[in-house]
Structure 1
């Protein structure tokens, strides 16, 4: 209920009483109470999460209008209001802190009230005239926070994956493959345990990173398939109470058409509403990707270390001055930023795991935490990978002479002698080289262990650094 008091305020009524609402806002009394109750972080809902909720409300309004559960003119007004939000209007009206009422009722009602009040304007009524178009009775017809919010997490995650993370991963893979081709002929010393190891191709380092990221992307694709199974239509506890018999199938069909995604209704809506397993699974894939991105970013920093006192096998592109006191210093800031974001994603994953198991009976009340952490993880990972690729990896240059010097000077080259002079003889050669400073070649020749021609074949860096091809036994 509402009562207009003056040009600055309107009076709205809920089951707890009356409150003054600023006349210019589109949210209503339940949102106002939530803003007052949850002044926690100042962090507002992610735009992608808002979009997901609005898309659901658009699909439900279309479906309920078709099924004659709500008048067609009201259905049309809600759909128009939803489209306006999706096109960028009223974005400042979604104001509830991400840490809020369990399950996300406050954010859900924020969406219902904004669409109701804008729908009222479209129909020619004043905001708050809820007898004509009601947030609960019309916008939320046949719905509950308990089925809408887990659906919104699914849709929001799918939107973030398709718009942010997957394009970034695909571009990163392509650029890494391009750098692999560029650096394929450059030989560098391998390192294991941070000690000299047998030589490798610099190009293969980049190709390995491309393969690692490809495998992570495939895991994410597989895990995200579960996000397309929706419990929408389960209503309060998964029974579908207060919904039309055709609603559950039709609303998912409409949402699939709007999003152009192969969404399907859950075979058991109660299960889809209770379990957070699909979110925990996707988050785990993101954590797994993050830990390998940390490794890659650390590798980039090590290989670029110096320029005088480090490895300096590659040159990361300078993007900003690196010190407030040391002139001419440039730091691997894009790689450093990448690790920071990845650590945050790992922290979010831990919180998602804890929240995922914190449900009781027919509801998990920790869904607002899962919603923010999961969608935010996807988006910051995508933005990070895009930035690292474009502002760092794409313009890496190699230091071929430095790489060759390390490769030729590595004691680990003695490994290639094993099958020719034996492991113990090779170990003695390595010890003598380290103690005397003589090269491996010089010592082998002095001891008469191999001829010069034989040694040239054995210690061929080009051959040693090639990956042995996989040959089918058949």
Structure 2
């Protein structure tokens, strides 16, 4: 009886799943609805298809919308990626005109369309899912079709009148998805890198400002979570800033690996259908449009499958995430308690920390920084696997690389701002706790090594630990140093080797 019931339940579950997936499939196969209910007919090699009359995209975009409804993340989720396509297509059209392949009036139409898209218009027309087969062809055609139809309207024609401006023959002239798609990803990453660097610089500055505030406040440093030697709070916070500056430099350096593009490679790197001189002129136009030193690859065959630029830049994002995670984890530890932890610093209280423990406040911002860092590290692994998995003359997995890196940029940018404004700017220091630790620590015994030797200093430390007394108390009892020597040689401020000239206005 029980077995029969289980079989019935399993059958019911299977039927429910079948209905669910079948329903989703039917929904995904429905044409995107026009606001007017009207459609226009377009065709490609697979036949005719109805397109919403007011849509600026065309038949190949429509097929992609029907085939790839996977993540719910359309390419317009990252506006700079759409701007990047406008830059790439405009530079290509300018280069084609330079070499005599494109008529000036068609360039003029593309220029108008590209400028409109760069201004943020028509974003809702770039709709295909980031997850797609075909190495980005659906995205390339989405860009070609939208720019063509926008260009048509802006020059007095109707959508779909491709005899005046054609998605393939004009917008894709001298190109392939295999050169324009990776190039658009690079352009978008470069555009977004400036934004990320700016936010990280602000975070670094916040740590420096806070560090300068507490530059003379002495505390115990720790190694392996054990008492080490004295330092100041300012030194600790300024070190966070210095380490972030290193990540900023790393991101800027990694950006340079994105400057080499394969525009003009066309399908596999041989440059079939690309006029002589086109590749160099296209890169030069991109450099002008972006204000960055974009250059054509020396070997277009290698550049069409090689993922080094993406791997390098993704690694820089991962490194930044690791640094933010380390700093956040340190702040969580330093703020632990408040009564049964280190309690050296206080973080801004943003929200109650427990549904059951009254009065508990958690370090929610450093925790969410860690969550983001873990995601970015995972995204780097995705990029690594995708870069490793291409075959022969093309890597078909660039879409997930682009999505992974852009998500990482977005998360790091937003989280850096949150970290600065909701946490770092509001850090305060409990100087009484720090003074207590300095009074009771044995760590300053290290300063006695040059005076009494390592072995004698070790004996003093062991006695202090076993007796529960402070090291200064033991030194005084045993008359190891005079009071004047204690004040001179074991002054915690002197032991920090604080070089005030390194810090602003100190």
Q: TM-score range by the shorter chain?
A: over 0.9
- SS of structure 2 residue aligned to 1:103: coil
1:347-384: per-residue Cα shift (whole Å, max 9, x none)? 01011111112122211101101111112212321222
2:409 corresponds to 1:372: no
1:161-180: per-residue Cα shift (whole Å, max 9, x none)? 01x21101221222222222
Paired with 2:280 and 2:334, the residues of 1 have a C-alpha distance of 55
- Whether the 8 Å contact between 1:176 and 1:206 is mirrored in structure 2 is yes
The aligned counterpart of 1:307 is: 338
1:410-442: per-residue Cα shift (whole Å, max 9, x none)? 121222222323333322322332232222222
Per mean C-alpha deviation after superposition, the further-off stretch among 409-418 and 143-152 is 409-418
TM superposition shift of 1:7 = 6.2
TM-score when scaled to structure 2? 0.87
Aligned pair partner of 1:31 in 58, 61, 74:
61
The aligned counterpart of 2:420 is: 389
The aligned counterpart of 2:124 is: 92
- Relative contact order: is structure 1 or structure 2 higher (C-alpha 8 Å, sep ≥ 6)? 1
TM superposition shift of 1:467 = 4.8
The aligned counterpart of 2:113 is: 81
TM superposition shift of 1:250 = 1.3
2:269 corresponds to 1:269: no
Paired with 1:414 and 1:187, the residues of 2 have a C-alpha distance of 16
Query: Within 5 A, what are the aligned runs for 1:314-393?
Result: 314-393=345-424
Paired with 1:445 and 1:404, the residues of 2 have a C-alpha distance of 19
- SS of structure 1 residue aligned to 2:419: helix
Aligned pair partner of 2:95 in 63, 70, 86:
63
- SS of structure 2 residue aligned to 1:102: coil
The aligned counterpart of 1:217 is: 248
**What are structure 1's unaligned runs of at least 5 residues?**
none
2:145 corresponds to 1:116: no
2:46 corresponds to 1:16: yes
| Change over 3 Å in CA distance of 1:26–1:201 after alignment to 2 | same
Aligned pair partner of 2:285 in 254, 263, 268:
254
The aligned counterpart of 2:481 is: 450
The aligned counterpart of 1:47 is: 79
Paired with 1:305 and 1:371, the residues of 2 have a C-alpha distance of 38
TM superposition shift of 1:124 = 2.7
The aligned counterpart of 1:291 is: 322
Q: Across the two proteins, how many residue pairs are aligned to each other?
A: 465
TM superposition shift of 1:204 = 0.6
Query: Within 5 A, what are the aligned runs for 1:176-187?
Result: 176-187=207-218
Aligned pair partner of 2:138 in 88, 106, 111:
106
TM superposition shift of 1:96 = 1.1
Runs of 4+ in 1 over 4 A off after TM superposition: 325-328, 467-470
TM-score when scaled to structure 1? 0.93
Per mean C-alpha deviation after superposition, the further-off stretch among 254-263 and 310-319 is 310-319
**What are structure 2's unaligned runs of at least 5 residues?**
1-33, 502-506
